[in-house]
């Protein structure tokens, strides 16, 4: 399928703007650039009943931030289901602020509490810090959910891009820890250590997420190339420690036609299916990486948002 016309227009605008790509910037500059651009194409923030910004402990004695979106007044008698969400950004850029509109949308439409995690970023915090922060946040939520008016029996994990990778790891760790998750909501997750697929070759330049930028993100995050072999970084094709995925939570996976990650996302869906994990793979024609945050300019993104909301409602039994 051809590029969506609005997506093509976005790519033309990006090319005309001639801004320096992330891989030519320092991490601090890249974070500022991402934060400045994150809201430009996004939907308008929807109202929710309440928002709480909290600090939670993680295993090395530090604390990280989480933002809790309550779609309705928290009720300890009738708690809401909960989604633990990890933002994208190559483990290097992004924050709860850059993904505020998306988390509001999921909370508002799915009528679930959303807990957005400000895990620590690279290069200040190299692999596997983001992974351990993510699972520590899940353990905290499983433990503290009732105090937040969230039902610990109806939890899901989700994320986009690098955040999707973290959600995958949390789903495996949750199974092993006896935390019952209802869903993995995976929006174009990163799953491969080596960018050798056809989609990476065809879409390495000109489609927003370039091959050079992917490698720059990896260089910020990984301690050295040996980390590429760790399944917590590359759950699709890791050479070391890849778990059996049998028994992990069902997955809903969004893949974009013009995303370099397209082929690894479809391959990961097949990997889960081979492990007899229920999987819904949604391929979005004419779309690029990051399209979930372009709903303010691309009308077709609304259908993808609705698909994600439906997946959450089905998993939580609230359809």
What count of other Cβ atoms lies within 10 Å of the Cβ of residue 170?
Answer: 29
Distance between CA atoms of 85 and 166, rounded to whole angstroms?
A: 9
Q: How far is CA 76 from CA 102, 122, 139, in A?
A: 26, 37, 19
Which tokens hold the place of 146?
């009732």
Residue 291 CA to its chain's centroid (Å): 12
- 85 Cβ contact list (under 8 Å, min separation 6): 99, 103, 106, 114, 115, 116, 117, 157, 158, 159, 163
Distance between CA atoms of 60 and 135, rounded to whole angstroms?
A: 13
Q: How far is CA 100 from CA 129, 180, 224, 228, in A?
A: 23, 26, 32, 30
DSSP 227: G
Beta bridge partners of 281: 253
Helix (H) or strand (E) holding 154: strand 150-160
Which tokens hold the place of 198?
């056809």
Q: Are strands 113-118 and 63-70 parallel, antiparallel or unpaired?
A: antiparallel
Number of helical H runs and strand E runs in the chain = 9, 8
* Torsion sign across C-alpha atoms 55, 56, 57, 63: negative
3-class state of residue 246 by DSSP? coil
Please identify every residue annotated as catalytic: 161, 259, 289
């Amino acid at each position: 399928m051809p590029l969506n016309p609005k997506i093509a227009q976005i790519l033309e605008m990006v090319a005309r703007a001639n801004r320096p790509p992330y891989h030519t910037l320092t991490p601090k500059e890249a974070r500022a650039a991402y934060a400045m651009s994150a809201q430009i194409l996004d939907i308008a923030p929807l109202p929710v009943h309440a928002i709480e910004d909290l600090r939670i402990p993680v295993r090395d004695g530090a604390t990280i931030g989480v933002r809790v979106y309550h779609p309705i007044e928290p009720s300890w008698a009738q708690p809401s289901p909960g989604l633990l969400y990890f933002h994208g950004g190559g483990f290097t850029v992004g924050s709860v602020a850059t993904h505020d509109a998306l988390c509001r949308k999921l909370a508002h439409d799915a009528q679930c509490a959303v807990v957005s995690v400000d895990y620590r970023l690279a290069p200040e915090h190299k692999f596997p810090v983001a992974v351990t922060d993510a699972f520590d946040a899940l353990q905290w939520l499983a433990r503290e959910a009732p105090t937040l008016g969230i039902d610990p029996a109806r939890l899901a994990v989700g994320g986009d891009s690098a955040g999707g990778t973290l959600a995958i790891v949390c789903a495996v760790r949750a199974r092993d820890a006896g935390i019952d998750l209802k869903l993995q909501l995976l929006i174009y997750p990163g799953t491969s250590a080596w960018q050798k697929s056809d989609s990476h070759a065809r879409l390495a330049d000109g489609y927003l997420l370039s091959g050079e930028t992917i490698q720059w993100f990896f260089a910020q995050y990984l301690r050295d190339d040996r980390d590429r072999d760790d399944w917590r970084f590359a759950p699709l094709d890791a050479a070391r420690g890849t778990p059996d995925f049998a028994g992990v939570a069902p997955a809903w996976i969004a893949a974009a036609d013009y995303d370099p990650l397209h082929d690894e996302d479809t391959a990961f869906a097949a990997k889960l299916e081979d492990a007899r994990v229920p999987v819904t793979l949604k391929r979005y024609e004419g779309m690029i990486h990051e399209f979930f945050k372009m709903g303010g300019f691309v009308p077709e993104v609304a259908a993808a948002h609705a698909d994600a909301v439906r997946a959450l409602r089905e998993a939580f039994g609230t359809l």
